[in-house]
Structure 1
Amino acid sequence: MTAPSPGFTLGPNSYGKSGVRLVRVDRDTPRHTIRDLTVHTALAGDLDATHYTGDNTGVLPTDTQKNTVYAFARDGIGTLEGFAERLARHFVDTAPAITRARVRIEEHPWTRIGDHSFASGEGGERRTAEAAYDGRDAAITAGVCDLLLLNTTDSEFSGFFADEYTTLPETDDRVLATAVTAAWDYASAPADADAAFGAARAALLDAFAGTYSLSLQQTLYALGERILKAVPEAREVRLSLPNRHHYLQDLGRFGLDNPGVVFQAGDLPYGLIEGAVRREAP
Structure 2
Amino acid sequence: MGHLLGHHQYGKAEIRVVRLFRDSDPHQIVDYNVSVAVSGDIGETWLSGDNSACLTTDAMKNTVNAFARSQPDAVRQPEEFARVLARHFVETVPQIGTARVSIESYGWDRLAGHPHAFARSGRLVRTCSVVRSSDEEWVTSGLRDLVVLKTTDSEFWGFYTDAYTTLPPTQDRILATAVTAQWWHTPAEGPQDWDASHLAVVDALTETFAGHHSLALQQTLFAMGEAVLDAAKGVAEIRLSMPNKHHFLLDLSAFGLDNPGEVFHADDRPYGLIEGTVRREGAGEPGPAYDPGQAW
> TM-score, normalized by length of structure 1?
0.95
**Counterpart in 1 of 2:179?**
180
Matched, 1:101 2:99: yes
State the alpha-carbon separation in 2 of the partners of residues 41 and 20 from structure 1. 9
Q: Report how far residue 191 of structure 1 moved.
A: 3.4
SS in 1 for 2:12: coil
Q: Deviations over 1:88-117 (max 9, x none)?
A: 000111111100000010111111102111
Q: CA deviation at 1:156?
A: 1.1
Q: How does 1:81-160 map to 2 (within 5 A)?
A: 81-113=79-111, 114-120=114-120, 122-123=122-123, 125-160=124-159
SS in 2 for 1:88: helix
Query: Hey, what's the Cα distance between the residues in 2 that align with 1:65 and 1:191?
Result: 25
Letter in 2 for 1:34: I
**Conservation of the 8 A alpha-carbon contact between 1:177 and 1:243:** yes
Partners of 2:247 and 2:228 in 1: how far apart? 27
Question: Take 2:94 and 2:54, find their aligned partners in 1: how far apart are those partners?
Answer: 9
Letter in 2 for 1:118: F
Distance 1:174 1:64 in 2: 53
Partner of 1:74, secondary structure, is: helix
Percent identity (aligned): 52
How many residues end up aligned between the 2 structures?
276
Any residues of structure 2 matched to 1:66-85 within 5 Å, and which? Answer: 66-75=61-70, 76=72, 77-85=75-83
Q: Cα RMSD over matched residues?
A: 1.3
Separation in structure 2 between the aligned mates of residue 140 and residue 154 of structure 1, nearest angstrom? 35
SS of the equivalent of 1:19 reads: strand
Q: Which residue of 1 aligns with 2:17?
A: 22
Q: Distance in 2 between matches of 1:102 and 1:122?
A: 26
- Please report how far the alpha carbon of residue 121 of structure 1 lies from its aligned counterpart in structure 2 after TM superposition: 5.4
In structure 2, the partner of 1:247 is: 248
* Amino acid aligned to 2:158: G
Question: What secondary structure is seen at the aligned counterpart in 2 of 1:89?
Answer: helix
Cα offset for 1:275?
Answer: 1.0
1:8 aligns with 2:6: no
Counterpart Cα distance in 2 of 1:58 and 1:220: 45
| Cα distance between partner residues in 2 of 1:167 and 1:215 | 17
**Amino acid corresponding to residue 54 of structure 1 in structure 2:** G
Letter in 2 for 1:20: I
Match of 2:37?
42
Query: How do 1:189-228 and structure 2 match up within 5 A?
Result: 189=188, 191-228=192-229
Aligned to 1:280: 281
- DSSP-derived class of the 1:127 partner: strand
Cα distance in 1 between the residues matched to 2:121 and 2:137: 33
Q: What code does the residue aligned with 1:14 have?
A: Q
Give the TM-score, by structure 2 length: 0.90
Q: CA deviation at 1:188?
A: 2.5
Q: Deviations over 1:49-75 (max 9, x none)?
A: 111100011111111111111111013
Unaligned runs of 5+ in 2: 284-296
Residue 268 (structure 1) shift: 1.3
**Which amino acid in 2 is paired with 1:12?**
H
Deviations 1:209-252 (A, max 9, x none): 11111111011101111101111111110000011111111111
Instruction: Specify every segment of 5 or more residues in structure 1 that has no aligned partner in the other structure, as ranges.
Output: 1-5
Dislocated runs of 4+, deviation >3 Å: none
